[in-house]
Amino acid sequence: MYKNTRIHLDSVTDLGEYEELETVVKDISMQESQVEHDEVINLSGLDQYEKCNVSYSNLLLKVRKNGAKNGDSKS
């Protein structure tokens, strides 16, 4: 955890490895949470990777439909 951001390291069968960030908006504003979220992305080096804004289950369905590997779905 970094400030209000939870950091999860996930290994998803048939998809690969992911780092999931969840910034909790409770005692801070939405704007502050976005600044913090971006800070974590930059500090962790995740800014060099493509964001994935869908659930693992939806990504898995897309991958299986397209026959892609490691979340590399081209649709």
- Give per-residue pLDDT as tens, 14-64: 899 999 999 999 889 999 999 999 999 999 999 999 888 899 999 999 988
Give the DSSP per-residue string, 42-68: HHHTGGGS----S-HHHHHHHHHHHT-
**71 lies in a domain?**
no
Query: Count of alpha carbons within 13 Å of 53, Cβ hemisphere only?
Result: 1
What does each C-alpha distance from 73 to 2, 6, 65 come to in angstroms? 31, 26, 9
pLDDT of residue 70: 53
Which residue range(s) make up the domain with 19? 5-66
pLDDT of residue 66: 87
pLDDT of residue 1: 92
**74 lies in a domain?**
no
**37 lies in a domain?**
yes
**34 lies in a domain?**
yes
Q: How many domains does the chain have?
A: 1
